[in-house]
Amino acid sequence: MNGVLSVEVKILDDRIHDWGLPRYQSAMAAGVDLFACVEVVLEVHAQTAAVLVPSGIAVHIGDPMIAGLIVPRSGLGHRDGVVLGNLVGVLDADYTGPLMISVWNRNPAGSPPIVIKPGDRIAQLLFVPVVRPAFRIVDHFSAGTVRGAGGFGSTGHAVATGKPLAE
């Protein structure tokens, strides 16, 4: 296998053969596009519940040190308001079911619906390394930090004042 990760891909919708098998669109692309395998045009209305859209494929990663992430396509989110209902879909290495894309229209209520047609590229799939540390239960941490247990928005305060945030 010469050090290259191999992921098995099962085609669940034959239209994928016409639209394009999973592939990287450029030599340095981070993700592969996922298609909307809907039967008819889908309208996703602003500020309503997220809709699950089938991608037409399933994958088997098979390596516990790799995970798949389903993330939005940048342009669709910025330009059209398409975001994922779960923000990021996480595919565990042992999941082999259909890849579903949770689509949500973040635009203000009353905005025109987002129209998704069969074959539209609506999300992308990335593969990332996973770190699986061993857990040690402790009563106290072995070392302190400048930030300590400072909560949300606390980073940088200790550096600016020179005082620890928590003991």
**8-129: CATH class:** mainly beta
User: Between 84 and 3, whose confidence is greater?
Assistant: 84
pLDDT at 162: 56
| Consecutive H or E run containing 20 | none
pLDDT at 151: 74
Q: Strands (DSSP E) along 16-78, which ranges?
A: 32-35, 42-44, 51-60, 66-72
3-state SS assignment for residue 88:
coil
- pTM, full prediction: 0.83
pLDDT, tens digit (0-9, with 9 covering 90-100), for 20-44: 999 999 999 999 999 999 999 999 9
Domain map (residue ranges) of the chain: 8-129, 133-167
User: Between 2 and 95, whose confidence is greater?
Assistant: 95
pLDDT, tens digit (0-9, with 9 covering 90-100), for 114-129: 999 999 999 999 999 9
- Number of other CB atoms surrounding residue 1 within 10 Å: 5
In whole numbers, what is the pLDDT of the chain averaged over residues?
89
pLDDT at 1: 43
Residue 33, C-beta contacts closer than 8 angstroms, at least 6 positions apart = 20, 22, 25, 73, 121, 123, 124, 125
pLDDT at 161 over 70: no
